[in-house]
């Protein structure tokens, strides 16, 4: 199905079953994209560990839906972009550092 391996924006969901957590992570990471991911779980600590250590995405949310916040950096990895926008990290993306060395 196109929703499995194409980057789709809008009110679309693909439901793919997994036998266990490892298979679910493998399915989630089996993409050349990586803008955002969501984990829904009753075990918040386990969800946090999965988000930090296993999921390949620029943003990962737990028990909510992905959205941007001007206070947090936002952007993807893989073929979903390079760098971040919003927040202090995003501002730095739009400036060039100039080095000036004066010898007297």
- Tens-place pLDDT, residues 25-62: 999 999 888 888 899 999 999 999 999 999 998 888 99
Beta bridge partners of 61: 38
The pair of three-digit structure tokens given for residue 39, joined into one six-digit string: 């984990």
The CATH superfamily label for domain 2-92 reads Aldehyde Dehydrogenase; Chain A, domain 2 (3.40.309.10)
Q: Report the C-alpha gap between 26 and 22 in whole angstroms.
A: 6
Q: Report the C-alpha gap between 33 and 57 in whole angstroms.
A: 8
Return the domain boundaries, the chain.
2-92
Most confident of 1-5, 25-29, 86-90: 25-29
Q: Which helix (H) or strand (E) holds 52?
A: helix 44-53
What is the model's pTM? 0.70
The pLDDT confidence band at residue 1, using thresholds 50, 70 and 90, is confident
* Residues near 104 by beta carbon (within 8 Å), at least 6 away in sequence: none
Strands (E), the chain: 36-39, 59-62
The pLDDT confidence band at residue 78, using thresholds 50, 70 and 90, is confident
Query: Is the CB of residue 2 less than 8 Å from the CB of residue 47?
Result: no
């Amino acid at each position: 199905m196109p929703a499995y391996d194409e980057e789709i924006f809008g009110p679309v969901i693909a439901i793919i079953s997994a036998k266990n957590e490892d298979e679910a992570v493998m399915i989630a990471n089996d993409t050349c994209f990586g803008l955002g991911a969501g984990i829904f779980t009753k075990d918040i600590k386990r969800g946090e560990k999965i988000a930090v250590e296993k999921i390949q995405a620029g943003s990962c949310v737990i028990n909510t839906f992905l959205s941007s916040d001007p206070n947090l950096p936002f952007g993807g990895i893989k073929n979903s972009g390079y760098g971040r926008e919003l927040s202090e990290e995003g501002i730095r993306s739009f400036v060039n550092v100039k080095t000036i060395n004066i010898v007297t």
